[in-house]
């Protein structure tokens, strides 16, 4: 195998200059006045004092977001990229890309140990990232935030620590049928291990969580309810706050999977009443490999470590080890320091916009896309819950989803095809696979028009799309 030449992956040169004020708040992460490529020799270390999320957001327009995303200015198969695979991962603003360069160019050090200046600076930046996540989620404080690889690891952490300690034979874990596999399989494994019962909460025909069935399934046996705040395949946004309040009446804990929610609307974990909240940085314009778990302070205090090693201890001897306080006892080993720096830059970028305006824009774009796609002959949208994020899962008569995605790819349009790691949700609609276009704040109605036009051409090709990929 040959190793690809990464220099060929250079960002396109024709990146427009942004009109959005630089809100990264991090010294060394250049804004408009600074050169596009950070001069690593002169890059400054991260300034945690300046890392608090912006308080005065600027007005939002999709163009003001697009100019910051270099990858949106490349071509794919000879066409400008139309990135409609945001539910799988979001594209990264230059503020995030440059933050990574600035960290490795000027500030790289391990954290939480070492008596030198750079260790201290890196630690302060890492902990500033924790404080920013806490602020972003409306958490009680930074101590409520555990850094993890992503939503999947957060859920597995809760299953392996809180779950193992609190579940046993005769206990129930309630999980709606629309959940992502990462909010099903860890509970299934835990149920097997503890002889608890995993109970699916059924859906209504349009893809909402059946609230009557949910109320009936809750009982004094229920120890945990695990729900997504937004479904990655149906887009459904369930009434999580009300469902949480109901679960609490039975003494159950509630884990909220926020993987698809955080990029689309503001979240307040205390207002939700969530005991646990999980998200992945890469679905929030940040790098892969970093995410966060929020746990309510009283619950977090009771959680035992799940991995042992450095960073999570107070003292170690062969006779006895004592552990660091939460959240550190749940973060064994060297953390993803640059990931946290990138996450901090992403949070600063996103919250530099008026988030209510972002949500309103996305809702409008979603309504436009639903109407436009609904008019494509043979196209059927899957899921019709009244409250939804901008996720459009669909089938096209006579075409298998993989063919649809491959056809669109020839036009530079990226959508996903397959089971979307939510097989029970698709099975509810009698499907094994579907295509999915998922939108973000930087998508436009022109891009939706291109999607629709390409799908119409596929239908007009009379099924030739099956044989001839242009």
End-to-end CA distance of the chain: 29
- Distance from C-alpha of 450 to C-alpha of 465, rounded to nearest angstrom: 17
Retrieve residue 86's tokens: 């945001």
Give the rounded distance of the alpha carbon of 350 from its chain centre. Answer: 13
Q: Which is nearer to ligand PMP, 151 or 450 (CB)?
A: 151
- Regarding 151 and contact with ligand PMP (CB under 6 A), the answer is yes
- Regarding 264 and contact with ligand PMP (CB under 6 A), the answer is no
Q: Which is nearer to ligand PMP, 237 or 408 (CB)?
A: 237
Q: Which is nearer to ligand PMP, 18 or 228 (CB)?
A: 228
- Regarding 18 and contact with ligand PMP (CB under 6 A), the answer is no
Query: According to CB under 6 A, which one of 150, 163, 342, 412 is a site residue for ligand PMP?
Result: 150
Please list, residue by residue across 94-121, b when 16 or more beta carbons sit within 10 angstroms of its beta carbon and e when fewer do.
bbbbbbbbbbebbbebbbbeeeeeeeeb
Q: Which is nearer to ligand PMP, 279 or 353 (CB)?
A: 279
Cα angle at 409 between 408 and 411, to 5 degrees? 70
- Regarding 207 and contact with ligand PMP (CB under 6 A), the answer is no
Q: Say if CB 379 and CB 394 are below 8 A apart.
A: yes
Q: Say if CB 135 and CB 123 are below 8 A apart.
A: no
Q: Say if CB 291 and CB 148 are below 8 A apart.
A: yes
- Distance from C-alpha of 146 to C-alpha of 171, rounded to nearest angstrom: 26
- Regarding 86 and contact with ligand PMP (CB under 6 A), the answer is no
Q: Say if CB 435 and CB 395 are below 8 A apart.
A: yes
Q: Which is nearer to ligand PMP, 132 or 391 (CB)?
A: 391
> Does residue 421 have an active-site annotation?
yes
- Regarding 222 and contact with ligand PMP (CB under 6 A), the answer is no
Query: According to CB under 6 A, which one of 24, 260, 348, 450 is a site residue for ligand PMP?
Result: 260
- Regarding 90 and contact with ligand PMP (CB under 6 A), the answer is no
Name the minimum Å distance from CB 9 to ligand PMP.
22
Name the minimum Å distance from CB 154 to ligand PMP.
8
Q: Which is nearer to ligand PMP, 66 or 428 (CB)?
A: 428
Considering only residues 160-199, where is the footprint of ligand PMP by CB under 6 A?
180, 182-183
> Which residue has tokens 């369930």?
238
Going by C-alpha positions, the residue among 191, 172, 28 that lies closest to residue 100 is 28
x/- mask, ligand PMP, residues 102-141, rule CB under 6 A, reads ----------------------------------------
Considering only residues 277-296, where is the footprint of ligand PMP by CB under 6 A?
280
x/- mask, ligand PMP, residues 310-349, rule CB under 6 A, reads ----------------------------------------
x/- mask, ligand PMP, residues 381-420, rule CB under 6 A, reads ----------------------------------------
- Cβ contacts of 346 within 8 Å, gap of 6 or more: 92, 93, 95, 96, 281, 284, 285, 286
Q: Say if CB 187 and CB 245 are below 8 A apart.
A: no
Q: Which residue in 119, 199, 324, 421 is the catalytic one?
A: 421
Q: Which is nearer to ligand PMP, 102 or 425 (CB)?
A: 425
Please list, residue by residue across 15-44, b when 16 or more beta carbons sit within 10 angstroms of its beta carbon and e when fewer do.
beebebebbbbbbbbbbeeeeeebeeeebe
Q: Say if CB 161 and CB 303 are below 8 A apart.
A: yes
- Regarding 257 and contact with ligand PMP (CB under 6 A), the answer is yes
Considering only residues 19-78, where is the footprint of ligand PMP by CB under 6 A?
none
- Regarding 85 and contact with ligand PMP (CB under 6 A), the answer is no
- Cβ contacts of 3 within 8 Å, gap of 6 or more: none
H-type alpha helices, 107-210 = 117-137, 151-158, 164-166, 185-194
- Regarding 450 and contact with ligand PMP (CB under 6 A), the answer is no
- Regarding 436 and contact with ligand PMP (CB under 6 A), the answer is no
H-type alpha helices, 259-400 = 269-272, 297-301, 337-351, 355-374
Count of residues in contact with ligand PMP, rule CB under 6 A? 14
- Regarding 259 and contact with ligand PMP (CB under 6 A), the answer is yes
Name the minimum Å distance from CB 46 to ligand PMP.
24
In the complex, the residues that contact ligand PMP under the rule CB under 6 A are 87, 150-152, 180, 182-183, 228, 232, 257, 259-260, 280, 421
Q: Which residues are catalytic?
A: 421
């Amino acid at each position: 195998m040959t190793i690809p030449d990464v220099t060929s992956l250079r960002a396109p040169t024709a990146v427009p200059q942004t009109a959005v004020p630089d809100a990264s708040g991090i010294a060394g992460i250049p804004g408009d006045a600074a050169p596009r490529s950070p001069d690593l020799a002169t890059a400054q270390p991260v300034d945690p004092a300046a890392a608090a999320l912006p308080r005065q957001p600027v007005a939002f327009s999709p163009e003001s977001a697009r100019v910051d995303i270099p990858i949106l200015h490349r071509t794919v198969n000879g066409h400008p990229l139309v990135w409609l695979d945001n539910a799988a991962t979001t594209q990264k603003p230059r503020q995030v890309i440059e933050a990574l360069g600035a960290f490795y160019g000027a500030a790289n050090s391990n954290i939480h140990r070492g008596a030198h200046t750079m260790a201290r600076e890196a630690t302060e930046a890492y902990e500033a990232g924790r404080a920013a996540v806490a602020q972003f989620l409306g958490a009680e404080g930074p101590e409520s935030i555990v850094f993890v690889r992503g939503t999947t690891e957060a859920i597995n952490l809760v299953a392996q620590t809180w779950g193992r300690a609190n579940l046993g034979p005769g206990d129930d874990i309630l999980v709606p049928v629309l959940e992502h596999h990462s909010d099903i399989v860890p509970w299934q494994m835990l149920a097997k291990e503890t002889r608890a019962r995993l109970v699916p909460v059924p859906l209504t025909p349009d893809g909402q969580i059946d609230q009557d069935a949910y109320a009936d399934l809750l009982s004094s046996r229920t120890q945990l309810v695990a729900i997504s705040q937004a479904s990655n395949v149906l887009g459904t946004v369930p009434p999580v706050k009300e469902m949480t309040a109901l679960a609490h009446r039975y003494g159950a804990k509630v884990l909220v999977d926020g993987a698809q929610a955080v990029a689309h609307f503001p979240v307040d974990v205390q207002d939700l009443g969530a005991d646990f909240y999980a998200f992945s940085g890469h679905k929030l314009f940040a790098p892969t490999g970093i995410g966060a778990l929020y746990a309510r302070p009283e619950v977090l205090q009771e959680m035992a470590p799940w991995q042992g090693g450095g960073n999570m201890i107070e003292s170690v001897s062969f006779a006895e080890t004592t552990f660091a306080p939460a959240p550190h006892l749940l973060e064994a080993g060297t953390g993803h320091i640059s990931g946290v720096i990138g996450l901090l830059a992403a949070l600063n970028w996103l919250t530099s916009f008026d988030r209510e305006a972002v949500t309103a824009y996305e809702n409008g774009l979603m309504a436009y896309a639903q109407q436009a796609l609904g008019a494509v002959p043979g196209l059927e949208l899957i899921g019709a819950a009244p409250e939804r994020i901008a996720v459009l899962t669909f089938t096209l008569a006579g075409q298998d989803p993989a063919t649809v995605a491959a056809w669109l790819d020839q036009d530079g349009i990226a959508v996903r095809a397959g089971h979307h790691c939510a097989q029970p949700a698709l099975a509810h609609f009698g499907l094994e696979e579907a295509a999915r276009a998922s939108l973000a704040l930087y998508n436009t109605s022109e891009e939706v028009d291109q999607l629709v036009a390409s799908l119409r051409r596929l239908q007009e090709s009379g099924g030739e799309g099956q044989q001839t990929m242009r």
